[in-house]
Amino acid sequence: MVNLQNTPNVLELMRHHALSRADHEAVTLVQDIENDEAVTLSYRQLDTAARELAGWLQARFSTGERILLLYPVGLDFTVAFMACIYAGMIAVPAPLPGQYRHERHRVKSIAVDAGVSAIFTDQDNLEKVKTWGNEEGLSSCTYLATDQPIESDATWHAPQIDRQTVVLLQYTSGSTGEPKGVMITHQNLLHNVDSYRQALGFDENTRFGGWIPLFHDMGLMAQLLPALFLGSSCVLMTPQAFVLRPYSWLRMIDKHDIHYSAAPNFAFDLCCRRVTDEQLSRLDLSRWAFATNGSEPIQAATLKGFSTRFALAGFNAETLCPCYGMAEATVYVSGYGKRGPLIQNVDLQALANKRFELARDGQPSRQLVSCGVPVGFDVRIVCPSSHVALAADQFGEIWLRSDSVSPGYWHKDAATQATFNLTTADGESGFMRTGDLGVVHEGELYVCGRIKEMLIVRGRNLYPQDIEFELRRHHPELASRLGSAFGVMLEGGEALVVTHEVRGLPNTEKLISLSQAIRGTVMREFGIYAVGVTLLRSGSVRRTTSGKIQRGAMRELFLANELPALYESLDATVQELRLMQAKNGLIAQDLTMAGESA
Residues 6+ apart with CB under 8 A from 441: 344, 356, 370, 392, 393
pLDDT band at 545 (very low <50, low <70, confident <90, very high): low
> Does the pLDDT of residue 10 top 50, yes or no?
yes
Burial of 144 by CB count in 10 Å (0-12 exposed, 13-18 middle, 19+ buried)?
A: buried
Neighbours of 185 (CB within 10 A): 23
- Domain range for 153 is 10-189+201-240
CB 409 within 8 A of CB 387: no
Q: Is residue 254 part of a domain?
A: no
The answer on pLDDT for 587 being more than 80 is no
Residue type (1 letter), 154:
A
Per-residue pLDDT of 422-437, as tens digits, reads 999 999 999 999 999 9
pLDDT at position 172, please? Answer: 86
Answer for the pair 86, 58: CB distance below 8 angstroms, yes or no.
no
Beta bridge partners of 335: 373
| 269 or 381, higher pLDDT | 381
Mean pLDDT (the chain, rounded) = 92
Average pLDDT of 286-307? 90
Amino acid at 195: S
Q: What's the average model confidence in pLDDT over 193-208?
A: 97
Q: How far is CA 248 from CA 30, 321, 336, in A?
A: 10, 21, 26
Q: State the CATH number of the domain containing residue 521.
A: 3.30.300.30
What whole-number distance in Å separates Cα of residue 591 and Cα of residue 551? 29
Mean pLDDT of 408-434: 97
Q: What is the pLDDT of residue 173?
A: 66
State the maximum Cα–Cα separation within the chain, in Å, rounded to a whole number. Answer: 74
Report percent pLDDT > 90 for the chain: 78
**DSSP annotation string for 344-402:** EEEEHHHHHTTB--BPPTTS-EEEEEB--EESS-EEEEE-TTT-PBPPTTB-EEEEEES
Distance CA 129, CA 109 (A): 15
CA distance 444 to 371: 7
Which residues face 262 on adjacent strands?
292
Asked whether residue 246 is assigned to any structural domain, the reply reads no
Say yes or no to pLDDT of 460 above 80: no
Q: How confident is the model at residue 598 (pLDDT cuts 50, 70, 90)?
A: very low
Chain centroid to CA 480 = 19
Confidence tier at 597 by pLDDT (50, 70, 90): very low
Region 151-163 average pLDDT: 89
CATH number of the domain within which 117 lies: 3.40.50.12780
- Would you give the distance in Å from CA 160 to the centre of its chain? 32
Does 555 map to a domain?
A: yes
Residue 566 inside a domain? The answer is yes
Task: Note the pLDDT of residue 592.
Answer: 38
How many angstroms separate the CA atoms of 191 and 138, rounded? Answer: 35
Closest C-alpha to 535, from 511, 507, 561, 570: 511
pLDDT tens track for 475-506: 999 987 899 999 999 988 899 999 999 998 89
- With respect to residue 42, please indicate whether it lies within any of the assigned structural domains: yes
**Helices marked H in 168-264 — which ranges?**
186-200, 217-219, 225-230, 239-244, 247-255
Task: Considering only residues 179 and 417, tell me which one the structure prediction assigns the higher pLDDT.
Answer: 417
pLDDT at 479: 86
User: Over the stretch 59-81, which tens digit does the pLDDT of each residue have?
Assistant: 999 999 999 999 999 999 999 99
Render pLDDT for 502-520 as a digit per residue (tens, 0 to 9). 998 899 999 999 999 999 9
Residue 214 inside a domain? The answer is: yes
Residue 294 included in any domain: no
Residues 337-349: pLDDT tens digits?
Answer: 999 999 999 998 8
Per-residue confidence band for 193, with pLDDT thresholds at 50, 70 and 90: very high
Q: For residues 503 and 273, what is the distance between their CA atoms, to the nearest angstrom? A: 14
What is the reported pLDDT for 530?
93
Residue 326 lies in a domain: no
Q: Is 116 helix (H, G, I), strand (E, B) or coil?
A: coil
Per-residue b or e along 122-133, where b marks 16 or more CB atoms closer than 10 Å to that residue's CB:
beebbeebbebb
- What is the mean predicted confidence (pLDDT) over 389-404? 96
CA distance 330 to 218: 9
Q: What is residue 595's predicted lDDT score, i.e. its pLDDT?
A: 42
CA 88, CA 159: separation in Å to the nearest integer?
5
Residue among 300, 437, 307, 278 at smallest CA distance from 365:
300
Q: Where are the beta strands (DSSP E) in 197-326?
A: 208-210, 234-236, 260-263, 290-293, 320-322, 324-325
Tell me how far CA of residue 535 lies from CA of 270, 497, 506, 568, in angstroms: 21, 11, 10, 6
Count of the separate structural domains present in the chain? 2
Q: What pTM value is reported for the model?
A: 0.88
171: amino acid identity, one letter? Y
Cα 43 from Cα 295, distance rounded (Å): 29
CA dihedral 271, 274, 280, 283 (to 10 degrees): -50
Q: Give the chain's count of helices (H) and strands (E).
A: 19, 28
Return the closest-CA partner of residue 151 out of 57, 50, 84, 286. 57
